[in-house]
Amino acid sequence: MSHLPKRRRIERRPPLVLVVLAALGAVFFVAPLAGLIARTPWRRVPELLANDVATDALGLSIATSIAATAVSAVLGVPLAWLLARIDFPGKALLRAVVTLPLFLPPVVGGAALLFALGRRGLIGEALYEGPGLLLPFSVWGVVVANTFVAMPLLVLAVEAGLRNLDPRFEGAAATLGARRLTVLRRVTLPLVAPSLGAGLALAWARAFGEFGATVAFAGNLQGRTQTLPLAVFMALETDRDTAVVLSMLMVAVSLAVLVVMRGRWWRWR
């Protein structure tokens, strides 16, 4: 009993090269954050956060990122299920198209959305001429742009979860007489809950930080489409202290949510 820990400790000592490289990797992420903290004018924080540009942007960012996460879940979970469980021609291509927003420059995504959903767009023209729905320059446009960049993360996470699922659980439930939607609701979804949780957290964080697609598709207007990242970018032009404080606010909110969500859902082991 008392000999075991000793042997383990020897085995566990990590190779020095790895530790050094890992430390360098960590510095790469910590340094910019430290730079931001060093630049923050702490005494002016309350005054700058009370500014209506900041409060409007924070409120809008929270509302639109949550809405985009909800839309991503409603549409993304069925899409992930389709990609994981059903074989159909063109599936590889569809998966590539669904994950494309992860790799496209967001501004390109925003421009593509404008050409598809703008009032002169492929689909947007019908929406505008018919029900009079105009997505660009509206809060709904922000939700669309956020969903476009965020949903792929959720689809990837849930699809991976579904693939790793042992199909015998669902088979057993079906054998016992459960209908297909009941199996999905009572067996499949609870089993992929950790993947779904991780997907929701990632999608939300991505939506909360979205800039390029939003500014290209929804424009930038305080109180209507100016989210926190847009407010930061615009403040860089005029008032650096405000830009830094808004950046710190984004970092704080994102970190808090990711740490909490990770503790709750996202333990890999």
Partner 1 sequence: MLVRILAGACAVTLALVGCAGRVGGEGGERVIVFAAASLTDVFGDIQVAFQAAHPDVDVELNLAGSGALREQILEGAPADVFASANRATMDEVMLAGETAGPAAVFARNELAIAVPAGNPAGVTGLAALGRPELLIGLCAAGVPCGDLARTVLAEAGVTAVADTDEPDVRALLTKIEAGELDAALVYTTDVIAAGEAVDGVALAAGANVTADYLIAPLAGAANPVGAARFIAYVRSAEGRRILTDNGFLLP
Which one, 18 or 86, has the nearer CB to partner 1? 18
Single-letter code of the amino acid located at 231: A
Q: Tell me if 115 contacts partner 1 by CB under 8 A.
A: yes
As measured in angstroms, the least distance from the Cβ of 73 to partner 1 is: 29
Cβ contact 154:68 at 8 Å? no
Single-letter code of the amino acid located at 258: L
Which one, 40 or 99, has the nearer CB to partner 1? 40
Lookup result for tokens 């430290």: 34
Query: Residues 60, 77, 80, 114: which binds partner 1 (CB under 8 A)?
Result: 114
Q: Tell me if 120 contacts partner 1 by CB under 8 A.
A: yes
Query: Residues 77, 79, 216, 246: which binds partner 1 (CB under 8 A)?
Result: 216
Token digits of residue 174: 């079906």
As measured in angstroms, the least distance from the Cβ of 8 to partner 1 is: 21
Q: Is 104 left (phi over 0), alpha (psi -120 to 50) or beta?
A: beta
Q: Tell me if 24 contacts partner 1 by CB under 8 A.
A: no
Which one, 85 or 119, has the nearer CB to partner 1? 119
Which one, 138 or 254, has the nearer CB to partner 1? 138
Q: Tell me if 91 contacts partner 1 by CB under 8 A.
A: no
DSSP output for 1-24: --SHHHHHHHHHPPPHHHHHHHHH
Size of the site for partner 1 (CB under 8 A): 27
d(CA 238, CA 122): 37
d(CA 83, CA 98): 10
d(CA 149, CA 60): 17
Please state the φ and ψ torsions of residue 98, each to the nearest 5 degrees: -65, -35
Binding residues for partner 1, per CB under 8 A? 15, 17-18, 21, 111, 114-115, 118-120, 136-137, 215-216, 219-222, 224-226, 233-234, 236-238, 240
